[in-house]
Amino acid sequence: MTRRADALAFAGALAGMLGMASAQAASSTAGPSASVPLSTGVNLDFTIAIDKFIFFRIGDSPWPATGGTTSTVSFVLTPSIPGGPTTPVAGNNTSVNWSGAAPSFSVTPSNNALPVEVRSNGGQITLRATATSPLASGANTIPLSEITIASSDTNLPAPQIPNTGTGTAVNVAGTSFANLVTQRSATWTFSYANLASRTAGTYTGQVTFTASSP
């Protein structure tokens, strides 16, 4: 039923277009003549509009579905206390021997490898990252630039995450028709650099990635 309805709708639209073309067509007349061949001609203009589109996703909803869920990447930092004569046992309210040296932290990621897909017929595609909200835990913050991204495909690179505002754009390599058409997919792996000691707490923030064409 859907295909038939689409066909009827297309036929109706085509009939309307032909009707409009007839109403706007030029006309000419030759003759009458009985001694020489006759000919005449008219011009007919055509217009074809091809719309541009961009499909961009990180995480859920592969082509051609539209996304409805914002993906979340998490990191948990677990301290390792330098022990004294005995090895410390992890737990709450547990007495341990401590050498006094600064503890080290191991980073455990969760859902940090996300599928990424870009499709477009709009020419050169660029990607940018914008710091929508900072990584904050009350008054304490972590620079968003400590979240780094590695792409599984250099043809679909990940833009650098800025601390504030919008970062530098990166280009996605086109796939056909002299870079007019792009169809790329990759996996972006997010990591936390853990460059400095931070106050304990849960830090949350958000980054917006944008795909653009000229």
Confidence band for 14, pLDDT divided at 50, 70 and 90: very low
Q: What is the pLDDT of residue 116?
A: 96
pLDDT at site 126: 98
CB 165 within 8 A of CB 103: no
Most confident of 3-7, 69-73, 96-100: 69-73
Could you tell me the pTM of the whole model? Answer: 0.72
Q: CB within 8 A of 63, min separation 6: which ones? A: 55, 57, 117, 119
Percent of the chain predicted with pLDDT > 70: 79
